[in-house]
A and B are shown apart, each in its own frame.
Chain A
């Protein structure tokens, strides 16, 4: 499948290289080219400089043909906005959004976005480790 990942931080870069190794067509978008240093030398996908909440940049990243869009920048609001552009403007079949703030995550999940709150997941994981 064709995947566009917005944000080449630790999670974005790792996800990109994993999906690339699995044989998917991956494009990573970041507004700081320095972030691309995190991609391994073996990475065979595309690293593209651009702002993920700009429709032009998303078009350049090939969002019109994408099967999946993943937003993993540091900003919850940027992720939320980019995902809504992907979903409502470009009709990307599957859109995944990282939202740190659990309250915001719940709201956007009710509004129909596929969301993950690392805060919630990780706190839960730690609790299970400690109590279990």
Chain B
């Protein structure tokens, strides 16, 4: 796979290294000559000096045949433009943009950037996972389908403890995938499965039904 990485900061540097290790054809675009030179000295000719937002630069590095462009500069606006130019001028099938301001996720999605990675959101999600009181955590977003995989914890106070799965009024867009009990091994929930305090439920849902799912699983 031919992958173009825009932005040779620390993130771009380690991404380049990791992707090369996986055996991909990777090219890093970086404006700063010194950074570029250092990378070339260390890893060979895998870095090209230029502005990844400029159509001319992208033409020179053969963006037309790239399978993916990943924009990881420190500025959301630069990442947005690099992805848009790649998409609209060179028909790159997959574009990934890094965002700093989590609010920009909506805009990036609206403008057709395939995947957005928000470091801020990732850290928030990690915090939520670490804080046991948080009842529902997003584990993964499945972009194309508009679905999320969530983790719901059943606490002793949940009014659903002792009820069977059949008795829960789950939203139609949510499917329970797995129950990980406090003790014992994980199992796939059946209609007759009884909820216990300490259960961790992995479910697939639409983001809109997330709140309804949490309410159905934990009671009020």
**Residue A24 interfacial (CB < 8 Å):** no
- Identify the closest chain B residue to A75 (Cβ): B77
- Tell me whether B54 and A55 are in contact (CB under 8 A): no
Residues of B close to A81: CB separation below 8 A: 76-77, 80-81, 107
Does A32 interact with chain B (Cβ within 8 Å)?
Answer: no
**A64 contacts chain B at the CB level, 8 A cutoff:** no
- With A103-B54, A104-B54 known as contacts, the answer to whether A80 contacts B81 (CB < 8 A) is yes
**A107 and B89 within 8 A (CB):** yes
Of A42-50, A82-90, A123-131, which binds chain B?
A82-90
Q: How many residues of A contact B (CB 8 A)?
A: 20
> Would you give the shortest CB distance from A63 to chain B, in whole angstroms?
14
Of B77, B103, B106, chain A has the most CB atoms within 10 Å of the CB of B77
How many B residues touch the partner, as a band?
Answer: 20 to 34
Which residue of A89, A104, A107, A111 is within 8 Å of B107 (Cβ)? A89
Which chain B residue shows the least CB distance to A102? B55
A111 to B76 alpha-carbon distance, docked (Å):
19
- Give the Cβ gap from B26 to chain A, nearest Cβ, in Å: 23
Q: Chain A contacts of B75 at CB under 8 A? A: 77
| Chain B contacts with A in 10-55, Cβ cutoff 8 A | 53-55
Q: Are B110 and A88 in contact (CB-based, < 8 A)?
A: yes
Q: Please, how many angstroms separate the alpha-carbon atoms of A68 and B59 in the complex?
A: 34
List 12 A–B pairs whose Cβ atoms lie within 8 Å, in order of A's numbering: A75-B77, A76-B53, A77-B75, A77-B81, A84-B107, A88-B110, A101-B54, A103-B56, A104-B53, A104-B54, A107-B89, A110-B88
